[in-house]
Chain A
Amino acid sequence: MTPDIEALLPLPPATFHILLALVDQERHGYAIIQDVEERTDGELRMSAGTLYRSVARMVEQGLIAEVLKRPAARLDDERRRYYRITPFGTAVARAEMARLSQLVRLARARGLTPETT
């Protein structure tokens, strides 16, 4: 793990969710919000302000980048901005995942299960 990546961990939940939303495809802001909401069964409803403040920071950190290529005009709202995950962003997402799995493994080793008995 490079020190750059390590410095960013642990990721804030919103950041991790945004990275997850962008793993498979480029999305615009509102699409990210909808994706996160769907994946979490409506549990995490990110607000626009939280999203774009996170986006601003993540662009600065190099985790994601804006996509300048736009979809066909009739599908597009020209005010939308599209983002993709960067290779560095992918690496950070993997590292966070590894960190979380490690935590879960440790918990299991102590006999802890998510279900209440």
Chain B
Amino acid sequence: MRGLERFYRALLYLYPASFRNEYGRALTATFVARLRDISGPAGMLRGVLAAVGDVVPNAIAAHWEILRQDMRYAGRSLRTSVGFTLTAILVIALGVGANTAAFSLADFVLLRPLPFHEPSRLVDVWESTPGYTQMEFSPANYRDMKAMTHSFAAMGAYSDRTMNLAGTGEPRHLTVGIMTPHAMPVLGVPPLLGRAITPDDSTNEQVVVLSYGLWQTQFGEDARIVGKAIRLDGEPYTVIGVMPASFAFPTREIDAWVPLLMREAFFADRSDNFLSVVARLRPGVTTQQAAADVAAVAARLEQLDPRANERTSAIVVDMRDEMSARSRMLVLALCGAALCILLLACANLASLLLARSAHRSRELAVRAALGAGRERIVRQLVTESMALALFGGIVGVAIAIAGVPVLARLVPDSLPVNGQPSVDPRVLLVAGALVVLTGLTFGVGPAIAAGRSKALDALRSGARGGARTQRLRSVLVTIEVAACVVLLVSSGLLIRAVLRIQGTDPGFRPEGVLTLRTELTGEKAALGAERVRFYDRVLQDVRALPGVERAAYMSGLPMVMGGGVWPTTLVGAPVVRDASNTVGLRFVTPQYFAAMGIPLRAGRDIADADRRESPSVAVVSESFAKRMWPNENPIGKQFTIASIPRTIVGVVGNVRVRGLERPSEPQVYVPATQLPDGMMVFYAPKDLVIRSTVPAGTILPAVRRIIASADPDQPISDVQMLTDLVARQTSSRVTQLRLLGILATIALVIAGVGIHGLLAFAVSQRSREIGVRRALGEQARSIVGRVMREGLALATAGVAIGVLVAYLAARAMGALLAGVQPGDPLTLAGAAVLCFVTAVVGCVRPAVRAASVDPITVLRGD
């Protein structure tokens, strides 16, 4: 009997405490009375089961009733303080939204395992020479590296090229990965259909594996595509497989893969570097061990062929880390900013709730006096905090969903992952949990503390914050100001960096220049005469169009192709591989410089008279002339490039070939007609550059017609204005800057609101003290001064901490700053002043209110 009673009393804990406290004993009495009426073990068992069947549903119903009651009450109470409610919801939403979006992106770009088999064992192997830390392998060096190293379970090489797909509607220009037969098995991704390229394909070059995207767009997801033939560059290729949608290698831009078969001729020249190398580490081998292994092999290869492999070593890079420091920093900086916002949001929410709880301590004391238990009051506050967190969370998710696609522009193209980042529920959960924790700590904590002290005291005296809440509030203000300064400084430095980059002279005038690509392939590309006939015909007709000022063909537009780098020497001198003698080599037709707006400094342009049989000439950039013949007239000087001695006939301005943010090698321009047959096909001009006085749209149809009539099979791609090309240089920065700018503005507003709220609250808390001071004769001005001083002291502490943290953060993101100093005084001072002004503005109203406290009213209130 006693045991059953104890069991029943334990069961009663399912009820809400308020109900249990009120009726628990009576319920137990009823239970016991009922047991007395029953006899026998079977009856007892029935009684106990009935009790369980009674308590469980009734407890749920009782909890639900209280929840509904509390929700109604919360709704009413939140509606009566709309300002508080909206601010809190907005603050939570911004914190949750910004963080969810930023960290979803970070997870996608930096953390998520690459979609390959056991991706942590995948590495890239590069040659490295002084000046170029990551250089492709020559076939012979690759072959030897593969044979002589012991760290790798598998190794493959790849490159990429463009091929024209014909026979499926309009001719299309594809980016194709060419893979040695061992390269795809290294990645270990099973194909969606058919098979990948394997060592079985060592003898047959005419097979192709399609990417999911190409299969979808060009072949209508034909399930029976495997075994069919498609035409690439006019040749039949048999489709052997289709890769899954998630597969992207080496980059997101690849449309298909074909085998790369090593011909004996490839191995002749160890300085012909075009193979990227991917490898899978043996189980248990670390990247460092593999790095030591490849470096040792590279040293032996240098002994083997000291001329071609002079000062050439090799390095190993984890595939996950194969991303530019800049792309990484872009994402990390964004995450840092989002964290600042979360910190601000939590600090602000905390101060809002603290102020509110103090504000309401009278109300709560009244409720307690009317018989509400502490448990009921705490429960009510929990419900209220949760409701706030829930609403804030919902709006936050909406912000995140809207924000992630914007952030997706920051995903680097080189990432070997297909698809787009999406809102990550795990991140959302963490951000949400933080907010809920803050809400509970600062929303309910004070209530519990208040409950512990004599509730009636609060009722009697009107609440006054104790020394501890005072300190807590000071800490919160300081944190808010500091986080705000960090965000402002970071954004400010990035703005300065973007302005500096945008102010960089690219070396050409992009306005009014249309470019497009017609890539000749096969014989048409290999044979000079065929090529020249095509160029001459297209250029002649394009130049005749009304509004066209200049038109030219060239290979490798600046900022599109950064490489194409060759060593140069004085005629007769030995070739030395060194960063100090390399140049960017470009083959161009006449009018190229005029079409691009590259100024001719001396001598002459490439001319129609520069044909294959005429003397080998070159136009060089000023930087090249200065490097080779400082203080001398370079016209007429001779040098050797790609084994051919050439005479300089002109000097032009320097061009930022590698983009606005990176230093570029000097440039050497050679007549397109002097590109030898069957060699350096990659350098065959393919970019048409047209400078016109009329909008591009009006001449483009005519240009298309001209190209089609010169070669009907010729696809046209990469149609763009040169201005867009230059703008893209800074677009990811501009996107990021906008985001950071938005975050910084939000931070400023939140911090301002926070400072104002806290001080206003502090003043209202101390109105009695202020009233007494007034009554004792203190001047209003002195009181204003006191409140202002208090607020500004906190702001100063916050600014000091913020500037320090901001400086450290800026040093960490040096890669993004384009030479702007992390301690840039203008930015630091600007951010500090802005924050300080915000703090002053936040202080003014509370200070004025303090001064206008009426001593009589306050003192009578007691």
Contact = CB atoms under 8 A, between A and B. Distances in A.
B282 interface: no
B829 interface: no
Interface string A30-50: 100100000000000001111
Given A49-B57, A77-B33, 11 more contacts: A29-B26, A29-B30, A48-B31, A49-B54, A50-B54, A52-B26, A53-B19, A53-B58, A56-B23, A80-B26, A81-B26
A47 B58 contact: yes
Contacts of A53: 19, 58, 61-62, 65
Nearest to A59: B22
Contacts of B30: 29-30, 33, 48, 51
Interface in B12-71: 19, 22-23, 25-34, 50-51, 53-55, 57-59, 61-62, 65
Given A30-B33, A55-B23, A56-B22, A79 B58 contact: no
State the majority secondary structure of interface residues on A: helix
A80 B24 CA distance: 10
B31 to A, nearest CB: 6
B19 A50 contact: no
21 contacts: A28-B26, A28-B29, A29-B30, A30-B29, A30-B30, A30-B33, A48-B31, A48-B34, A48-B54, A49-B27, A49-B55, A49-B59, A50-B58, A52-B26, A53-B61, A56-B22, A80-B26, A80-B29, A81-B23, A81-B25, A81-B26
A57 B407 CA distance: 54
A74 B31 CA distance: 20
Interface of A: 28-30, 33, 47-53, 55-56, 77, 79-81
Contacts of A28: 26, 29
A47 B50 contact: yes
A56 B19 contact: yes
A56 B57 CA distance: 16
B857 to A, nearest CB: 38
Contacts, number: 55
A53 B33 CA distance: 19
Given A33-B30, A53-B62, A79 B25 contact: yes
A77 B29 CA distance: 8
A49 B29 CA distance: 12
A49 B55 CA distance: 6
B293 to A, nearest CB: 74
**Interface size, B (range):** 20 to 34
Contact of B26 (A47, A50, A79): A79
B55 to A, nearest CB: 6
B29 A52 contact: no
Nearest to A32: B30
Given A56-B23, A79-B26, A49 B58 contact: yes
Interface of B: 19, 22-23, 25-34, 50-51, 53-55, 57-59, 61-62, 65
A30 B30 CA distance: 5
B50 A52 contact: no
A13 B58 CA distance: 16
A48 B27 contact: yes
A51 B30 CA distance: 10
Contacts of A80: 26, 29
Contacts of A30: 29-30, 33-34
A52 B61 contact: no
Given A33-B30, A77-B29, A79-B28, A52 B54 contact: no
A55 B62 CA distance: 12
A47 B62 CA distance: 14
Nearest to B26: A81
A56 B61 CA distance: 13
Contacts of B34: 30, 48
Contacts of B62: 53
A35 to B, nearest CB: 13
B367 to A, nearest CB: 15
Nearest to B25: A79
A64 to B, nearest CB: 13
Contacts of B57: 49
A61 to B, nearest CB: 13
Q: Which 9 A-B pairs have the closest CB atoms?
A: A49-B58, A47-B54, A79-B29, A79-B25, A48-B30, A52-B23, A49-B54, A30-B33, A30-B30
Contacts of B51: 48
A18 to B, nearest CB: 14
Contacts of A48: 27, 30-31, 34, 51, 54
B19 A29 contact: no
A81 B446 CA distance: 35
Nearest to B22: A56
Contacts of B27: 29, 48-49, 52
A106 to B, nearest CB: 33
Contacts of B23: 52, 55-56, 81
A44 to B, nearest CB: 14
A37 B621 CA distance: 107
A77 to B, nearest CB: 5
Contacts of A47: 50, 53-54, 58
Nearest to B55: A49
Nearest to A48: B30
Contacts of A81: 23, 25-26
A81 B55 CA distance: 19
Contacts of A49: 27, 54-55, 57-59
Contacts of A50: 54, 58
Q: Most chain-A CB neighbours within 10 Å: which of B23, B25, B54?
A: B23
A62 to B, nearest CB: 15
B134 to A, nearest CB: 73
A29 B29 contact: yes
Contacts of A52: 19, 23, 26-27
A90 B516 CA distance: 93
A22 to B, nearest CB: 15
